[in-house]
Amino acid sequence: MNDQDIENNLRTVQAAVVQAAKDAARDPEAVTLVAVSKTKPTETIHKALLAGHRSFGENRVQESLEKWPALKDAFPDTQLHLIGPLQTNKIKDVLGLFDVIQTVDRIKLATKLADAMAATGHRPDCFIQVNTGEEPQKAGVLPADADAFIRACVDDCALPVRGLMCIPPADEEPVLHFALLREIARRNGLSGLSMGMSDDFEAAIRFGATHVRVGSAIFGAR
Ligand SMILES: *Cc1c(COP(=O)(O)O)cnc(C)c1O
């Protein structure tokens, strides 16, 4: 994809985000477009940065460590979101690089994140991933366990928990999952909702998404 395509795609998706927010009588500023740049090379991401975009998501720690330190040096106001699994032995690698960790989903990870935050002073915002579809192969805390897990992260670990994140099952109506995530966030007093991807971000915004994670609609097919 050339520079112009990426810039045009960004403008188109950003305009759709604003329109969806307005249609839902929401403030467009309250929705962050996280451009998911996984598998895309540094040169491609650079084009989006030059076009003025500053929020990005990656799902692999190792790939992020290869691509992002130089990009963040060049564009220090960039916000980088981890949207894929985090192993506890990688925590020290991610704390200085990611601004938001969207995939907190088990107590061992929460505890070790809290220890590493205290040791390093880096305190990236955290989202708790909820496996709304209860899919065995998918990460995330089960809906029935979500309230207790959120309390443990906030009260026992003192993590800076900002909201919840979900990845609905590919073959189900996503809005049922968006509604479930919104309800779990509401009853736990959390305002952040990371939900919605290329195919369904407008619906997610209608259901209250504060962060939509859009990859292929911006960067093309992977
Ligand atoms: C890849 C990915 C996305 C973006 O998916 P698209 O369909 O390309 O927009 C969003 N969220 C997560 C967790 C992902 O891994």
Read off the CATH number of the domain in which 184 is found: 3.20.20.10
In a domain, 167, yes or no: yes
Show the domain range for 114: 3-217
The pLDDT of 145-151, averaged and rounded, is 98
Q: What's the whole-model pTM score? A: 0.97
Substitution site in 213, 218, 219, 222 for ligand 1 pocket (most atoms within 8 Å of beta carbon): 213
What is the pLDDT of the chain when averaged over all its residues?
Answer: 97
In a domain, 16, yes or no: yes
Q: Is the pLDDT of residue 110 over 90?
A: yes
Q: Is the pLDDT of residue 50 over 80?
A: yes
Query: Ligand 1 centroid vs 107 CA: distance in angstroms?
Result: 25
The pLDDT of 199-216, averaged and rounded, is 98
The pLDDT of 145-168, averaged and rounded, is 98
Note whether 158 and 124 are within 8 A (CB).
no
Q: Which residues line ligand 1 (CB under 6 A)?
A: 36, 38, 59, 83-84, 167, 197-198, 213-217
Residue identifier of the C-alpha nearest atom 5 of ligand 1: 215
pLDDT at 4: 78
pLDDT at 3: 66
In a domain, 86, yes or no: yes
Query: Ligand 1 centroid vs 199 CA: distance in angstroms?
Result: 10
In a domain, 11, yes or no: yes
Cα–Cα distance for residue pair 52/69, rounded to 1 Å: 18
The pLDDT of 100-110, averaged and rounded, is 98
Higher pLDDT, 222 or 71: 71
Closest listed residue to residue 220, CA positions, set 33, 6, 4 = 6
- Domains held by the chain: number: 1
In a domain, 129, yes or no: yes
Query: Ligand 1 centroid vs 214 CA: distance in angstroms?
Result: 6
Q: Is the pLDDT of residue 121 over 80?
A: yes
The pLDDT of 197-210, averaged and rounded, is 98
Q: Is the pLDDT of residue 146 over 90?
A: yes
Closest listed residue to residue 215, CA positions, set 84, 86, 75 = 84
The pLDDT of 51-70, averaged and rounded, is 98
In a domain, 222, yes or no: no
